[in-house]
Amino acid sequence: MSGGGTFAKLPEPPYYAVIFSSRRRAREEDGYDAMAGHLFALVQGQPGFLGAESVRGEGGFGITVAYFESEEAIAAWRRHAEHAPARERGRTEWYEGYEIRVARVERAYGWRRDP
């Protein structure tokens, strides 16, 4: 999943966050980027999906935070027919490991530099 390195535009809390941190295996072209792009397109059409932010560092460690309206929206995305095979490829091919934390966002605030 990719968020393009930009801020997600989200409604006022409460909503839910899926915090996905992962370490990629040190491999070159292996279909990961294509699958990440495909999943990101899919999730954007998912009911209750609000937005995502994603970044991966040079060392292969990455964090993606995907935001959803509700726990049910998260569960529906998890049940998506193309999500399970992607998770399986993640474990067999792409990741050294990952952590998933599901959280309820209670409050949020931001700041932007004046242009």
Q: Tell me: does residue 56 bind its own copies (CB under 8 A).
A: yes
Q: How many CB atoms lie within 10 A of CB 12?
A: 8
Min separation Cβ 34 and its own copies, Å: 19
Q: Tell me: does residue 46 bind its own copies (CB under 8 A).
A: no
Min separation Cβ 73 and its own copies, Å: 14
Length of the chain: 115
Q: How many CB atoms lie within 10 A of CB 87?
A: 13
What CA–CA distance (Å, rounded) separates 77 from 4?
A: 20
Give, as ranges, the residues between 71 and 110 that touch its own copies (CB under 8 A): 91, 95-110
Q: Tell me: does residue 13 bind its own copies (CB under 8 A).
A: yes
Q: Give CA 46 to chain center in angstroms.
A: 13
* Total number of residues that touch its own copies (CB under 8 A): 43
